């Protein structure tokens, strides 16, 4: 993983947050000349993500620290498996430990959660997408973790694509008596098509609105909280009349129902929980020796 300027700034801020003015416990217990060796161990199985970030955390505290990874991002690991070893200044290792493990836990949790959804959809054409429900200032890294789990990224920012959702429709007065004003929407889509390289996606909540919108051929139609039965009907209609339009399922997607959704024939399934509530993976750092 390439660590750009933004990522390195995130690492510096994370260390500053955790250490404060200084790690006084380590200062009082570890002489400055002591060296140590430690290993990072996975306490449960999962998909690894964040190894280069963990390395950078230790290097930020001490350039001479030796960090050897036994696994790379995207690899599977098992419980009690050694993931990496660190050698060097004991004060550096101990003061950087928690930040490095926190990054590994979060990003490996996202990658692992994503992989579970991807595996459930094997044999279908549906791609698993993330959303903008990310931790502030960590979006780039969390979306990287989704890719390490086999998922795909939706738009990275509001400026990357047009996604017209229910609040836009209401605030922009695209609704008449709780019904979508298809004519006004058509004018909006026509204008967007004049913009270079900008894709348009529109959210619909009913089959009726879906059929009204798809005839104007947006790039993607989002089926928001559709029942699987209705998704199948939407897919059948799309396949017959507008095969070039992609369909995205969103809302209420869980491990127990994602395969049924994927088998409906939709192209994408967007899942906010990949990043807003993944189960963190437990890692520990254990000191092996001191000299």
Tens of pLDDT, residue by residue over 8-57, are 999 999 999 999 999 999 999 999 889 999 999 999 999 999 999 999 99
Are residues 182 and 64 part of one domain?
Answer: no
My answer on whether 126 and 270 are in the same domain is yes
On average, the pLDDT of the chain sits at 92
Domain holding 25, by residue range, is 5-110+279-290
Residues 184, 215 share a domain? yes
Check residue 210 and give its pLDDT: 93
- Name the token pair of 259: 């395969």
Number of domains making up the chain: 2
Q: Which residues are catalytic?
A: 98, 133, 165, 203, 224
CATH number of the domain that residue 93 is part of: 3.90.1170.20
pTM of the model: 0.92
Q: Catalogue the E-assigned strands of the chain.
A: 35-42, 46-47, 66-69, 76-77, 82-89, 127-129, 162-164, 175-176, 179-180, 200-204, 220-224, 246-250, 268-270, 283-290
Q: Range with the lowest mean pLDDT among 170-184, 213-227, 234-248, 249-263? A: 170-184
Q: Rounded distance, CA 265 to CA 260, Å?
A: 9
pLDDT of res. 41: 98
Decide which of 264 and 195 is more confident.
264
Question: Is residue 290 scored above 60 in pLDDT?
Answer: no
- The pLDDT of 257-276, averaged and rounded, is 98
The reply to whether 195 and 77 lie within a common domain is: no
Q: Quote the Cα angle for 149-154-157, to 5°.
A: 125
Average pLDDT value for residue range 155-174? 80
Identify whether residues 187 and 207 lie together within a single domain: yes
**Alpha carbons 201 and 161: distance in angstroms, whole number:** 8
Regarding whether 35 and 162 lie in a shared domain, the answer is: no
The CATH number of the domain where 215 resides is what? 3.20.20.70
């Amino acid at each position: 993983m390439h660590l750009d300027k933004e990522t390195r700034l995130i690492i510096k801020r994370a260390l500053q947050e955790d250490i404060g003015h200084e790690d006084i416990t380590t200062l009082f217990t570890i002489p400055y000349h002591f060296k140590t060796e430690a290993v990072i161990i996975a306490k449960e199985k999962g998909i690894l993500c964040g190894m280069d970030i963990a390395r950078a955390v230790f290097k930020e505290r001490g350039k001479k620290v030796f960090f050897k990874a036994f696994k790379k991002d995207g690899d599977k690991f098992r419980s009690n498996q050694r993931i990496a070893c660190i050698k060097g200044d004991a004060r550096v290792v101990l003061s950087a430990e928690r930040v490095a493990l926190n990054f590994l836990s979060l990003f490996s949790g996202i990658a692992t959660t994503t992989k579970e959804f991807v595996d459930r959809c094997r044999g279908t054409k549906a791609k698993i997408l993330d959303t903008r429900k990310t931790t502030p200032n960590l979006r780039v890294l969390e979306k990287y973790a989704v890719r390490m789990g086999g998922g795909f990224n939706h738009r990275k920012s509001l400026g990357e694509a047009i996604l017209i959702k229910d609040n836009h429709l209401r605030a922009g007065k695209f609704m008449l008596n709780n019904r979508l004003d298809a004519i006004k929407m058509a004018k909006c889509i026509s204008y967007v098509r004049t913009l270079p390289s900008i894709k348009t996606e529109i959210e619909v909540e009913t089959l009726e609105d879906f059929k009204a919108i798809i005839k104007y051929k947006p790039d993607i139609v989002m089926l928001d909280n559709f029942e699987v039965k209705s998704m199948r009907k939407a897919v059948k209609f799309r396949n017959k009349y507008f095969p070039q339009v992609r369909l995205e399922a969103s809302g209420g997607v869980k491990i127990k129902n994602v395969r049924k959704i994927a088998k409906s024939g939709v192209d994408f399934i967007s899942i906010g929980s990949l990043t807003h509530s993944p189960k963190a993976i437990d890692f520990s750092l254990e000191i092996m020796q001191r000299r």
